[in-house]
């Protein structure tokens, strides 16, 4: 078996060979390299046609109109454009926005930026299972609320929010509803004809497309308007200027087309792999599954291993590529704010690992992962003073620790 085993599909996915193959046809002199905005010759027309086909593949996956799809550089830009664009365009109606504490930084930091511009933001708590409390959301809505932004699938826990119900609440009160669907597209069914969602962010590289390309769905009926954040040649109906990267767009389109065809079968396979992984791990003492057990995508499993520190665990798991719920690896030394928001203690948040499986994960890889996890936990607990204290029946909450 080739090591390390990649189990970090929620961070990014490899480009599907079928997608790469397609992209290569839009780069060189022999391919359709033209500028899709060139109207005066065949090179431009062919590139434009390729872009429009890709746009319809993206719209098809989520049952939208191709004219509702705006290309961006990725979900981060889509989130920025959606939230800032709508908040600024509708500022005369009010300057209050609502989101929740477990959102991706691309949403939270955008909200922070708007706070500096004089907007007021409510950051909702989530319940222990990671889900937003609809009663709390409704109570937070005010006459001057313009935008609610709640992600569909959480990137750390895989928990799926009830965006259908949230959409109903928003629509009833005339509030724009933005959904970050970077981790959702191609993983859960999305029907924008029935869902009351006004803006939705997509990323290509989370579903076997290339990095550096994404899209924003902008509803036409009822029409949602945005203040552009990138100005220039007026591409994408004036909402996002900049020459369209044909090869990236074609790659995203192909990735979304494949996702639509293969999603159902893939989800069934992922669910089996996830169960196999959990069955192999849950017999270890003091192991906890984070986030709601049923409302989540099969691809992401977040597990806390009590009395073992996350970063050393990642070191011990060097033959599997996973990420730590503890953000130690990104050098901030802070435990995951998402897991903290679920009510996990700092220790448990520090001790958690996200396993995310994908298109190229095999049963053999899962079995090997289970074996490595068992060995790592055994080694680190033998070295852990906290494990000894737990085994001696000492309640760690009663110990007077010296924080540093």
Partner 1 sequence: MAYSEKVIDHYENPRNVGAFAKDDPTVATGMVGAPACGDVMKLQIKVNEQGIIEDAKFKTYGCGSAIASSSLVTEWVKGKSLDEAAQIKNTDIAQELALPPVKIHCSILAEDAIKAAIADYKTRHGS
Q: Measured between alpha carbons, how far is 207 from 159 in angstroms, rounded to an integer?
A: 17
Specify the 3-state DSSP secondary structure of 317.
Answer: coil
The secondary structure of 131-175, three-state, reads CECHHHHHHHCCCCEEEEECCCECCCCCEECCHHHHHHHHHHCCC
Tokens of 210: 């290339």
CB of 74 to partner 1, least distance (A): 24
Tokens of 190: 């999305």
Cβ distance to partner 1 smaller for residue 91 or 379: 379
CB of 311 to partner 1, least distance (A): 4
Do 304 and 287 form a contact (C-beta atoms < 8 A)? yes
Residue 218: other Cβ atoms inside 10 A: 26
Q: Binding residues for partner 1, per CB under 8 A?
A: 307-312, 315, 326, 328-329, 331, 333, 335, 345-347, 350, 382-388, 396, 401-404
Collect all residues with Cβ–Cβ distance below 8 Å to 400 and sequence separation of at least 6: none
Cβ distance to partner 1 smaller for residue 293 or 315: 315
Do 201 and 181 form a contact (C-beta atoms < 8 A)? yes
CB of 341 to partner 1, least distance (A): 16
Residue 162: other Cβ atoms inside 10 A: 14
Cβ distance to partner 1 smaller for residue 265 or 403: 403
* Phi/psi at 163 (5° precision): -70, -20
CB of 321 to partner 1, least distance (A): 14
CB of 316 to partner 1, least distance (A): 8
Cβ distance to partner 1 smaller for residue 265 or 331: 331
Cβ distance to partner 1 smaller for residue 48 or 309: 309
Collect all residues with Cβ–Cβ distance below 8 Å to 336 and sequence separation of at least 6: 156, 325, 326, 327, 349, 352
CB of 399 to partner 1, least distance (A): 9
Place of tokens 């928003």: 170
Do 167 and 177 form a contact (C-beta atoms < 8 A)? yes
CB of 106 to partner 1, least distance (A): 23
Cβ distance to partner 1 smaller for residue 39 or 401: 401
Confirm whether 170 is a catalytic residue.
no
Beta bridge mates, 5: 320
Cβ distance to partner 1 smaller for residue 270 or 307: 307
Given the residues 328, 344, 366, 380, the one annotated as active site: 328
**Which stretch of DSSP H or E encloses residue 121?**
strand 120-124
Taking alpha carbons only, the member of 200, 137, 201, 199 closest to residue 172 is 137
Q: From residue 366, how far is each of 98, 125, 266, 296 by CA, in Å?
A: 39, 34, 16, 19
Residues labelled catalytic? 328
């Amino acid at each position: 078996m080739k090591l390390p085993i990649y189990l970090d599909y929620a961070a990014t996915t490899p480009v599907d060979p079928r997608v790469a193959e397609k992209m290569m046809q839009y780069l060189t002199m022999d391919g359709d390299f033209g500028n899709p905005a060139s109207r005066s010759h065949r090179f431009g027309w062919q590139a434009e046609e390729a872009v429009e086909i890709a746009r319809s593949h993206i719209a098809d996956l989520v049952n939208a109109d191709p004219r509702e799809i705006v290309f961006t550089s990725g979900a981060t830009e889509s989130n920025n454009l959606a939230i800032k664009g709508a908040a600024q365009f509708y500022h005369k109606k009010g300057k209050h926005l609502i989101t929740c504490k477990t959102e991706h930084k691309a949403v939270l930091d955008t909200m922070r930026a708007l706070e500096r511009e004089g907007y007021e933001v409510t950051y909702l708590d989530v319940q222990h299972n990671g889900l937003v409390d609809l009663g709390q959301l409704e109570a937070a809505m005010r006459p001057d609320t313009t935008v609610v932004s709640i992600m569909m699938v959480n990137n750390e826990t895989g928990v799926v929010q009830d965006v259908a119900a949230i959409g109903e609440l928003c629509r009833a009160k005339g509030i724009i509803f933005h959904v970050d669907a970077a981790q959702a597209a191609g993983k859960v069914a999305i029907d924008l004809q029935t869902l009351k969602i006004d803006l939705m962010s997509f990323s290509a590289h989370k579903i076997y497309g290339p990095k550096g390309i994404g899209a924003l769905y902008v509803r036409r009926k009822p029409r949602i308007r945005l203040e552009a954040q990138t100005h220039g040649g007026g591409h994408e109906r004036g909402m996002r200027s900049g020459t369209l990267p044909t090869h990236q767009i074609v790659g995203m389109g192909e990735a979304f087309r494949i996702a639509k065809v293969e999603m159902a079968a893939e989800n069934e396979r992922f669910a089996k792999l996830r169960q196999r992984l959990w069955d192999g791990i849950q017999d270890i003492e003091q192991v906890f599954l984070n986030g709601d057990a049923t409302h989540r995508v099969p691809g992401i499993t977040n597990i806390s291993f009590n009395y073992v520190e996350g970063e050393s665990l990642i070191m011990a798991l060097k033959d599997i590529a996973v990420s730590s719920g503890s953000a130690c690896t990104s050098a901030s030394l802070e435990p995951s704010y998402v897991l903290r928001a679920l009510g996990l203690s700092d220790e448990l948040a520090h001790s958690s690992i996200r396993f995310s499986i994908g298109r190229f994960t095999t049963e053999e890889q899962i079995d090997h992962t289970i074996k490595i996890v068992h060995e790592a936990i055994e080694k680190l607990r033998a070295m852990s003073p906290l494990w000894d204290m737990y085994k001696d029946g000492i309640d760690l909450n009663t110990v007077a620790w010296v924080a540093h």
